[in-house]
Amino acid sequence: MNHSSKPMITTIIPTYRRPKLLQRAIRSVLNQTYPHLQVCVYDNASNDETAYVVAEIAKTDSRVKYYCHPENIGAIANFNYGLKHVDTPFFSFLSDDDLLLPNFYLMAMKGFDKFPDAMFSAGSTIFITDKGRVELVDLSLWKREGYYAPPEGLFALLNGGPVWTSILFRKEVVKEVGLLDINTGAVSDGDFVFRIAARFPNIVYKEPCAIFMIHDLSSCSSSLNLASIWPGYLNMIHNISEDKRIPLDVCLRAEKIMTFNLKCYLFSFGFFFIKQKNFEDAYKIADILRKQYNQKTKAIIVYSAAKLFQHLPMGSDIFFNGVVKIRRYLRKGALQKQFGGYVQYLQK
């Protein structure tokens, strides 16, 4: 299929050795109801059938482009490489295992038409396991749709907002805030969005626009460790609190909120690492909570749980399986009933 109109949107898809999932991701972009786009795949030296898979799709749709690095440059550097080569007025990021829902770009572009000073237009992302269970919808509790001027947009996002899978950006943001900060590690995506929202207007809609896949090889899997979030999160706080272009009162308030969030995340990740039987990082988190933030109670809880389940490995499995069952019971399948229909897109 040939699309003669000049593309308005670039979808940046970094990839590494997941050709089947990549194929689904690419097709989810090509199936957008807004057709004026191009898909740029950046292969991190997979050395497998990835190149062939992309070439086969490109044979029937000229909007698909492919570049393969001679060696693996790392995930964040690969995202940045794609970002530096954007040549369209708008762009979005898509991981090779996630997918877009058909009306995402059309909805986002309508937002830009209505609010031409906005720097990004966002929708909701549905988090689904590879077994088809809906675990989270990031904007299910979002209070207000529409236009957010700074700093209101930043503070709304700091309390829980859309992930970048369902965000369409203006190209101008690269000039204004720069590339992804590699020093923020696993939170480089959030850091990028926060830096934009701190200085520029944005638009948020609750309409589901993307699916984030939760599976053994995803970014929220057992491959995540403490080094990927600490001290990266501290660097993210620094990027906001030390930005002289942001009013001082905004910096101070944002730093307070982000520091509070960090304490909560560390506590949660402590149990995440215990569940993954990564007790070394769990102990380190207990130490950080106690020494850095004087969170003695939380530190004792994490430390004690790590000690207990390190010596009773079967107990940790029973405990965490029980927590999952209780959580699903309390929700009574509400998310599954409301958003379970979107699982169909995983099969396309």
Give the helix/strand (H/E) hosting 204: strand 202-214
Identify which of 75, 281, 49, 306 has the alpha carbon closest to the alpha carbon of residue 180: 75
Token pair in block for residue 23: 């194929």
- State the DSSP string of 118-171: -SEEEEEEEEEETTS-EEEETTTT----EEE-TTHHHHHHHTS---GGGEEEET
State how beta strands 202-214 and 146-148 pair: antiparallel
Place of tokens 């107990």: 315
Measure the CA–CA gap between 115 and 121, rounded to whole angstroms: 9
The whole-chain average pLDDT of the chain stands at: 92
The domain spans of the chain are 9-221, 227-338
For the 9-221 domain, the top CATH level (class) is alpha beta
DSSP code for 172: H
Question: What pLDDT was estimated at residue 3?
Answer: 56
**pTM (predicted TM-score):** 0.93
Residue 216 one-letter amino acid: D
Token pair in block for residue 219: 């970014």
Per the CB < 8 A criterion, the answer to whether 164 and 115 are in contact is: no
168-178 pLDDT, tens digit per residue, is: 999 999 999 99
Measure the CA–CA gap between 316 and 205, rounded to whole angstroms: 39
Measure the CA–CA gap between 288 and 5, rounded to whole angstroms: 54
5-25 pLDDT, tens digit per residue, is: 789 999 999 999 999 999 999
Question: What pLDDT was estimated at residue 348?
Answer: 67
What sign for the dihedral angle of Cα 189, 192, 194, 197?
Answer: negative
Question: What pLDDT was estimated at residue 339?
Answer: 87
Question: What pLDDT was estimated at residue 332?
Answer: 56
Q: What are the 10-residue block averages of pLDDT along the chain, 348 residues in total?
A: 77 97 98 98 97 98 98 97 98 97 98 98 95 90 94 95 96 98 96 98 97 74 77 96 96 97 95 92 97 97 94 77 66 77 84
208-240 pLDDT, tens digit per residue, is: 999 999 976 555 554 678 998 899 999 999 999
Measure the CA–CA gap between 175 and 197, rounded to whole angstroms: 15
Measure the CA–CA gap between 311 and 20, rounded to whole angstroms: 40
